[in-house]
Amino acid sequence: MNNKRINNIVEAVSHWRGALMGESLTRNITTRNMTALLTMAMLAISVSAEAAPALSVDANTEITKGKQPNILLILTDDLGYNDVGFNGSKEIKTPNLDQLAANGTSFSQAYVAHPFCGPSRAALMTGRYPHKIGSQFNLPTKGSFVGVPLEEQFISKLLQSNGYNTGAVGKWHLGEAPEFHPNARGFDDFYGFTGGGHNYFPQQFKAQYAEQLKQGNTNINHYILPLEHNGKEVDENEYITDALSREASRFVKDAAKHDKPFFLYLAYNAPHVPLEAKQSDMDQFPTIKDQKRKTYAGMVYAVDRGVGQIVETLDKTDQLNNTLIVFMSDNGGKLSKGANNYPLKEGKGSVYEGGYRTPMLFHWPDKVASGQRFEHPVLALDLYPTFAALAGADVPQQKRLDGKNIWPAFSANKNPHQDELFYVLRHRKGYSDAAVRRNEWKAVKHSQQPWKLFNVETDANETEDLSSKHRNKLNDMVREMEKWSWDNKQPLWFHENFEGAEWRLHGMPRFDKTYSTEK
């Protein structure tokens, strides 16, 4: 009998045992009852042994014993839902990611907390909706001394204080001043850039940077600034995606020398603009004729190459078997820049599915089931409490979290958010786009049009408005989101000065307009 079948039987027996213990509170249970019910559980599992849970019973046992896993969180930037093989891409090859998915579990309904970069990352690090902490806009484009509030403990800080060796590689976009620097927010090691993006070819951006210095400029475009290692400028000479992969592998090698687990946050800026790819990577896609799409594909392929390199390093250093790898994007793909979010509607910046539903996978040998597809909603907000639970780290009582530890539900292949609501809110000029989901139902307010209602389980493209058939359901969900919004904070900054002026001019956030359900 294989391990999968054994694990399924043990889990079923545990389930029936728990049920029987509960039943004993109301009536006596005989040995015959117990034997019969346990036999039923064994028979049920033997019929459907292939419906494996995502996490084995052995892994649960190890976790409860306090064994701390390594955690590798890989975040891409503006990756399309349909731009990885494990999500059905027929154009873009991602063999290394596909192998991780084949040996792990991929997710069909993974949601970030905001449909663009900075707020999404703030949510990932803090476990809070960005609107609750004043971080609902990208940081100012020309630099600033603001950042995600210091009273919000990052997951890195929590893990660091619980014995983890912590590293961050790549894009930060959470604050540039010293107090907001990665090294000050729980990362022992940081290699990358603190701004919201970067050019990819050093021979080009280094020349541009030198010219800016020659002209005496001090406020210089973030995209051409030198990269840094723990606050010190470095002379980087590799294509940036390759450099980030190299540094992640370096961190993994160094981590093998330490007698403690590691947490590595690898935040690629690819395939975010500017669209810049190596010719050798674009050559992998001879059938793609559109130049934007071809360049974008090459950028995604470079990420995949890097992931393969890092997995190989984990394997060679005997750390792979104790490493949970999580892969996802910060938001949906940007359709005008080569991305494909099929079958989802719209893309980056939108409250439709294509804006904040992203590719995602878990990989952990012998702990996460192979070749499974988790078909229930999960949130990027869930990663903070889930990582904390796996690490055996107690979240401080005063620390508020908007997600939950999904590992128990994930292990049982159950919906971790059954009957719960989750939200997305994007502020615009004088109004807000908003959406709220509960189970299969999603209510959407977009472009100042009336609220609509969709069944996103059967209509991922959000084409059939069912609001007229389920008016009470729609109104109830909107009222719940309105209630959720009351303790949202005013923005602590704006991406551009004119956005702040417009916000004040229009008396934003104007939730009286957002949550009106009158047609």
Establish whether 272 is a catalytic residue: no
Residues 6+ apart with CB under 8 A from 253: 313, 317
Where are the strands (E) in 103-219, listed by range?
105-107, 110-111, 165-171, 189-193
Q: Which backbone phi and psi does 43 adopt, to 5 degrees?
A: -65, -40
The sign one gets for the Cα dihedral 209, 210, 216, 218 is positive
Contact of 481 with 421, CB cutoff 8 Å: yes
What's the Cα-to-Cα distance from 187 to each of 156, 200, 394, rounded to whole Å?
A: 6, 24, 19
Of the candidates 114, 131, 173, 181, the residue annotated as catalytic is 173
Tell me how far apart the terminal alpha carbons of the chain are, to the nearest angstrom: 61
Mark whether 173 is an active-site residue: yes
Cα–Cα distance between 430 and 450 in angstroms, integer? 16
Which of 117, 131, 272, 417 is flagged as catalytic?
A: 117
The pair phi, psi for residue 393, each rounded to 5°, is -95, 130
Please list, in sequence order, all residues whose beta carbon lies within 8 angstroms of the beta carbon of residue 68, skipping any fewer than 6 positions away: 162, 163, 164, 260, 261, 390, 391, 392
**Half-sphere CA count of 272, side-chain side, radius 13 A:** 25
Alpha-helical runs (H) found in 49-111: 57-64, 95-102
Enumerate the active-site residues: 117, 173
